[in-house]
Structure formats: C-alpha cells, structure tokens
Amino acid sequence: MAKVLLLFGGRSSEHEVSCSSAVAIHEALVESGHRVIPVGIDREGDWYLADASGRPFKAQGRSVQLMIPSAMLRVGNDEIGFDVAFPVLHGPYGEDGTVQGTFETCDVPYVGCGVLASSLAMDKDLTKQVVAASGVATTRWVTIRKHEWMEDPALSIGEVSRALGFSVFVKPSAQGSSVGISKVSGEGELKEAISNAFRYDVKVLVEEAITGREIEVGVLDGPVSSVPGEVITDGGWYTYDAKYEDDTSSFEAPAQLSQDAARHVQDLAERVFETLGLSGLARIDFFYETGSRRFLFNEVNTMPGFTSISGFPKAWASSGVAYPELCDRLVNAAIDRHEERGRLAVR
C-alpha cells in the first residue's frame, strides 16, 4: 500500500468543496489500507498538515513546505516522504496544471490528468474548440476577452445577440462548480452578467441555453466509461447552491436513457477523453437536446467533486465500482502511469 499525500483546499473559489471531497477520499484510502497525509492549502496558498478528525477538513495546523525537487514535506524539523499525490483541488491553482507541474518537477506520481490536459480542460473556450474540431457536436458559444469588453461593451453584446439570441448562459472561461455563471433571458441583463463573470477570469464565454437534460459520464484510463448519470434540478439550472448547499437538485445513475443512447454518450465521452489527452479520471458533461435528441458536449472536469453527493463517484458506484475501490484504483493507476513514463527514452 502507498503513502498518499492528500492535497486539498486551494486558492480557488471552490476551496470549501475541495475540503469536503477530501474527507471522503481520506476515509476511502484508509479503508483500502493506504497511509494518508492530509495537507490543506489555504486561500493565501500556504500549506498545513491538517487534522484528519475534523469535519470538513480545514487548511490549518502545522506549517508544511514541499521541498523541490526532492518531494519531501518539511514540517518543522521533520521531513516526511510520500509515494503518490492525490490533489483533490478544484478550479484554478490546482486543477489547471499548476500543481501537476510541481509534481512533474519533483518526479512523483499523482492522481489525475497531466499538465497539458489539465490546463486545456480548465479553459472552457479552448476545450470546446478542440472538441468541436474533432467532430463532436457542442453548444454554440461566443468568447469575449476582457480587453475587448473594456474597449467596447456594446460591440460584444451585439455579437452575442446576433450569434446566439436568448436565453444564454454567461460563464468565466476557467472556473468550475457554476461559480460566476448567470442565466440571461434578455439583452438588458447581459452587461451585468458579463461584468460579473469578469470578476473571476479575463475571458468569458456566452453559450446558448439548451432545452434538454444534463447527462454526465465518468471516465477512467482505458478509456472506460461509467454508466451515464443525470442531473435533475428543481431550480431551473445547476447552480453552486444546487450542487452543494441545498436540496433543489439530485443525481440519478444510471440515467433513464435507451440502451443505444446510453452507449452513444459513453462513446462520445471516451472520444473526448482521448481527444483532449486526458488521463486518470474525468467527468465529461453533455446536454441531451429535447428536440433533436442529440448529445451536445458541454464541458470537462479533470478533478470532479468527490463529496458524498457528487455525481462522479455515484456514477461509478452504479457501474459496480464502490467508492473505496475507485479511490484505490486512481492511486494505483497514477503509480502505473508514472512507471510507464519513466521507461520512455529521454534522448
């Protein structure tokens, strides 16, 4: 069994979600026989050896420094080694390739996608460009950059109105958990929604609103996909509160789809996984459009939520992979990928 550095918290707006995810992962890894070192990153980016008895975990405790390139954790006068890292970090400064690059520099295995895939998948605009170029249908969108918005907001608003009409969703390009997202039903609301999204990123997406169902598929190395699951909401769309703080949404797995439709969306998810060069794990999200009965790619999460109500582990549980087995499998896959890469020629 491995000694696992469980890294959680982080500087992003999804800090609390990560702290909750880490609790369940810690329990699962311990149940599977691994030794787990929980280290929390606070909102300022400082690392702390966390108290594993807290619920949820908090990025507090004795100060920790990661020594590069030795990959030793320095806690006071002590040095602690680890075999593999499990960075359950959501959003910027964790899911976007930054932490992954640190572990690459240290030459240690880590759970999840590599630097390039993590960075690409974090940017919704670039992800959609690559996926659309591969032939997978996606929702229509308009990208607005901050300098364009500052120079002429009316020009951007006009472009959205002409290209997409209404209703639309306005999103920061590199955020998750519905942070900074607004649904807009008319031109009068658009300026405020775009300005709000620019609080979180320098690039904003405006996407057409789809009438249909939200279908999510978990994918692991292979690629191999879980049964599709469906997000069911009472509040109209899947807000941050609906995901984590109230009971206005639920996740059903397997989704009520025909056998052919289920297999089709699994094939699409595996195709996206390979197209983007993903590894380890990902949750691939689609819309199942009511009128056309076609699947439209929405987005990718390379470190999806692992809380008790999160869709990714629920989908795999419905596929016959229990939560502890899933976490154990991710750790072992990370070690295997690292060993395989270590056998590649360097010159």
Residues 72 and 95 in one domain: yes
- 248: confidence class by pLDDT, cuts 50, 70, 90: low
Return the amino acid letter for 96.
Answer: D
Residues 193 and 223 in one domain: no
* Cα distance between residue 3 and residue 249, in whole Å: 36
Q: What residues form DSSP beta bridges with 79?
A: 74
Q: What would the two tokens of residue 137 be? A: 């249908």
- 242: confidence class by pLDDT, cuts 50, 70, 90: very low
As a whole number, mean pLDDT of residues 141-145 equals 97
Helix or strand (DSSP H, E) at 173 = none
> Model confidence over 71-124: pLDDT tens digits?
999 999 999 999 999 999 998 899 999 999 999 999 999 999 999 999 999 999
250, 235 in Cβ contact below 8 A?
no
DSSP letter for 144, please.
E
Is the model's pLDDT at 317 over the cut of 80?
Answer: yes
Residues 166 and 260 in one domain: no
- 245: confidence class by pLDDT, cuts 50, 70, 90: low
Name which of 64-73, 291-300, 303-312 the model is least confident about: 303-312
| Residue 177 confidence (pLDDT) | 53
> Model confidence over 157-200: pLDDT tens digits?
999 999 999 999 999 998 765 678 999 998 889 999 999 999 99
Q: Confirm whether 122 is domain-assigned.
A: no
> Model confidence over 259-277: pLDDT tens digits?
999 999 999 999 999 999 9
Q: Confirm whether 324 is domain-assigned.
A: no
* Cα distance between residue 137 and residue 230, in whole Å: 19
Q: What residues form DSSP beta bridges with 7?
A: 39, 87
Q: What residues form DSSP beta bridges with 204?
A: 144, 172
> Model confidence over 21-77: pLDDT tens digits?
999 999 999 999 999 999 999 999 999 999 999 999 999 999 999 999 999 999 999
Residues 90 and 165 in one domain: no
Nearest to 38 by CA among 88, 76, 1: 88
Domain boundary among 208, 227, 259: 208
Nearest to 287 by CA among 238, 324, 224, 333: 238
As a whole number, mean pLDDT of residues 129-134 equals 98
Q: Confirm whether 169 is domain-assigned.
A: yes
Residues near 239 by Cβ (< 8 Å), separated by ≥ 6? 178, 181
Residues 229 and 263 in one domain: yes
Residues 163 and 227 in one domain: no
Q: Confirm whether 319 is domain-assigned.
A: no
Is the model's pLDDT at 236 over the cut of 80?
Answer: no
* The model's pTM: 0.92
* Beta strands per DSSP E along the chain: 3-9, 35-41, 47-49, 62-67, 72-75, 78-80, 84-87, 141-145, 168-172, 182-184, 203-208, 212-220, 224-225, 229-233, 249-252, 281-289, 295-301
End-to-end CA gap in the chain = 33
Which comes out higher in pLDDT, residue 230 or 346?
230
As a whole number, mean pLDDT of residues 142-170 equals 95
Which comes out higher in pLDDT, residue 174 or 257?
257
50, 61 in Cβ contact below 8 A?
yes
DSSP secondary structure, 252-308, as one string: ESS-S--HHHHHHHHHHHHHHHHHTT--SEEEEEEEEETTT--EEEEEEESS---ST
Q: What would the two tokens of residue 306 be? A: 């692992």
204, 173 in Cβ contact below 8 A?
yes
CA distances for 99 relative to 14, 72, 193, 261, 277, angstroms: 15, 15, 30, 37, 18
Kindly report the average pLDDT of the chain as a whole number. 93
- 347: confidence class by pLDDT, cuts 50, 70, 90: confident
Q: Confirm whether 287 is domain-assigned.
A: yes
| Residue 46 confidence (pLDDT) | 97
Q: Which residue has the tokens 């997000």?
A: 231
Name which of 9-13, 18-22, 179-183, 339-343 the model is least confident about: 179-183
Name which of 164-178, 227-241, 308-322 the model is least confident about: 227-241
Domain boundary among 160, 186, 208: 208
Residues 107 and 9 in one domain: yes
| Residue 176 confidence (pLDDT) | 62
Domain that holds residue 233: 130-135+211-302
DSSP letter for 228, please.
P
* Cα distance between residue 329 and residue 322, in whole Å: 10
Name which of 48-57, 196-205, 242-251, 280-289 the model is least confident about: 242-251
What proportion of the chain, given as a percentage, has pLDDT over 90? Answer: 87
